[in-house]
Amino acid sequence: MEQGERMRERTASVVVVDYGLGNLRSAVSGLERAGAEVEISDDPATFEDTDGIVLPGVGAFREGVENAGPYRDALVEAAENGTPVFGICLGMQMLLTTSEEAERAGEGEVTGLDFVPGTNVRFGEGQKVPHMGWNELSVERDHPIAEGIDGEYAYFVHSYYAVPEDESAIVAETDYGTRFPSIVASESGTIFGTQFHPEKSGETGLRILKNFVDICAKS
């Protein structure tokens, strides 16, 4: 597909939050391929005028939550206004309430964004961590972010996984010795995240990013 053709197909504006963590360039490239007009921003004011927000992330839960602290109020306001918020990897874990990761590091309880009530737990002792590589997605319930991906494979790199308080938050699961949520969504459905990296997941990831752009265009 030519660059000009991609430009003509763009249907939504998306802000990728630059809070100091995450592979921003890969995320931006994937979103542009999916048809979005993308802006990398460290200014919460940009959340007001965008169709969707992406919260990427690579690293530790506490560092992510602390770095995202200046954006918390603006993210909450955007979510309350119905703006789709998409968390990727650590960004997904930050959508939950807490994580064992901070406790294991002796840092005490660290409060996440709490858009999806629950906690993040470490894989069991018998499982190799991090869970790294390609694994299968099993869609458990309908959600527009997961359209067309049941049974497809995505790329994971993580040692902790989400355990939502309400099982209805689970959109898709993946098996790694234990079944864990690979896609979660809030009760409103407009806040969601993938434990895997769609920007590194080939055509499956591109389909998810296109789904996200479609959601943003309709919001």
Active site residues: 89, 197, 199
- Bridging pattern class, strands 131-136 and 118-122: unpaired
The span from the CA of 208 to the CA of 214, in Å, is: 10
d(C-alpha 82, C-alpha 151), whole Å? 29
Q: Under 8 Å CB-to-CB from 57, ≥6 apart: which residues?
A: 21, 22, 64, 87, 88, 89, 90, 91, 92, 93, 94
Sign of the torsion angle spanned by Cα atoms 84, 30, 209, 153: negative
Which 3 state secondary structure label does DSSP give 97?
A: coil
Separation of alpha carbons 142 and 123, rounded Å: 27
